[in-house]
Amino acid sequence: MKKPLLLCAVLATLAGCTWVKLEDAGAHVRVAYDGRVDGCDKVGEVGVSVKDRIGPYDRSNLKVKDELETLARNQAASLPADTLVALGEPRNGEQSFAAYHCGNTRPARAARAAAQPAPARGKGEEAQTFPVR
């Protein structure tokens, strides 16, 4: 009785884990959710897949979609592409993306934020935390 319960607990925990990590090159690839790629050159297509089921359990659709997008961004960087457009919704853990080179590797807002360094802190200006009662 304890073994099946333990197995279910382990599977449920693993289902929530993120297995796909965004690589540095993939971080420069954006996803055009609105499909607007005017003035961009199509450089190819990317097909990706992940497990959408672990044993008898369905994984979260949002988690599967997020991992598919991350994998596609990682692969698109090697084309070289800087923009992806989904060619449809995920199906059975698989999804295809059109890859484009638009010449912009980072959204303008992110580029501005990266250009501004964090303010320097002097000695004794460390952040402090206080317990909540």
Per-residue pLDDT of 71-106, as tens digits, reads 999 999 998 899 999 999 999 999 999 999 998 644
Per-residue pLDDT of 2-33, as tens digits, reads 766 666 565 555 555 557 899 999 999 999 99
Which pLDDT does position 96 carry in this prediction? Answer: 97
pTM of the model: 0.65
59-66 long-range Cβ contacts below 8 angstroms, 24+ apart:
59/15, 60/15, 60/16, 61/90, 63/16, 63/18, 64/90, 64/93, 65/90, 65/95, 66/18
Cβ atoms 26, 78 nearer than 8 A: no
Please list the alpha-helical segments (H only) found in the chain: 2-15, 61-76, 108-115
- Domains detected in the chain: 31-105 (3.30.1660)
Which pLDDT does position 108 carry in this prediction? Answer: 46
